[in-house]
Amino acid sequence: MIVPGLGLLGLGLSGPGRLGEVLAMTGGVVAMAGLVLLVQNATDRFDIWAYAGPWCCWPGPARDGGWWA
């Protein structure tokens, strides 16, 4: 998941306009999910999804990035 995510991120950063934005965002999400899975697999700590799950699905400012605006 990490390599395809980084590939999409690279395409998105080099792509023009809206398509580049969508590819970069998708690539970043896929790459980060791959990194989380890599760390979980290396440390055998799969319980951290209990903490990550609610934040990724929570509606509103956290999901839309409103806290950084």
pLDDT in tens, 24-44: 999 998 998 898 889 889 999
Tell me the two tokens of residue 8. Answer: 């999409």
pLDDT for 52 equals: 63
Q: Are 12 and 21 in contact (CB under 8 A)?
A: yes
pLDDT for 57 equals: 57
SS3 call for 51 = helix
45-64 pLDDT, tens per residue?
888 777 665 555 555 555 55
pLDDT for 61 equals: 54
What is the rounded end-to-end Cα distance, in angstroms, of the chain?
29
**DSSP single-letter state for residue 46:** G
The pTM assigned to this predicted structure is 0.68
**DSSP single-letter state for residue 45:** -
pLDDT for 47 equals: 82
Tell me the two tokens of residue 57. Answer: 């699905």
What is the distance between the alpha carbons of residues 9 and 49, in angstroms, rounded to a whole number? 24
